[in-house]
Amino acid sequence: MSEAIDALRYPIGKFTRPEVLNMEAYQAWIHDIESLPGQLKYICNDLTDEQLQKTYRQDSWTVAEVVHHIADSHMNSLVRYKWTLTEDTPIIKAYDQGAWSTLPDYKASVDVSLTLIEALHRRWVILLKSLTEEDFDKAYIHPETKKQVTLGINTSLYAWHGKHHVKHIEIALES
């Protein structure tokens, strides 16, 4: 993959596993997760249909599709937390994000997904703020990689995920 395409695909860099996992780090990532719905509403406020159809690189999702994807991805993540907190190292269910993006609900107004993200994140943050350091050490198994993922790492991943897609939207709107 060329450097230019890679820079657009991962504008804030690829996710890297954090070296430090502690309550201070978790709280910072929870803050990032908590602030995402407001950032998305601010960025998407008053966008035209034309702007919502802009892409951040060739053959990428549109702004609208990115918003719908965030709703789907973060919904799946919350369910993974619940499985992990209530089961012993569960094997989670993976989903095909590309296939999901072809379903009719991706043609809905972005307001539908923005509202979902706002409510979902409120629930998610309540759960995240209740977790202990031991809870963040609990893990699930991802069926595609067969690797364990702790809730601490997952929290870091989803803090990154939100920033990653906000940057995609900003790049699309700047073009």
What's the CA gap between 62 and 71, in Å, rounded? 14
Beta bridge pairs of residue 62 = 55
Give the predicted TM-score (pTM) of the model: 0.95
Q: How far apart are the first and last CA of the chain?
A: 21
Can you spell out the DSSP letters for 99-163? HHTTSGGGGS-HHHHHHHHHHHHHHHHHHHHH--HHHHH-EEE-TTT--EEEHHHHHHHHHHHHH
The mean predicted confidence, pLDDT, of the chain is 96
What's the CA gap between 42 and 10, in Å, rounded? 22
Express each pLDDT in 80-128 by its tens digit.
999 999 999 999 999 999 999 999 999 999 999 999 999 999 999 999 9
Whether 1 has a pLDDT exceeding 60, the answer reads no
What's the CA gap between 56 and 139, in Å, rounded? 33
Walk me through the domains of the chain, giving residue ranges and CATH numbers: 44-174 (1.20.120.450)
Antiparallel, parallel or unpaired: β 139-141 and 148-150: antiparallel
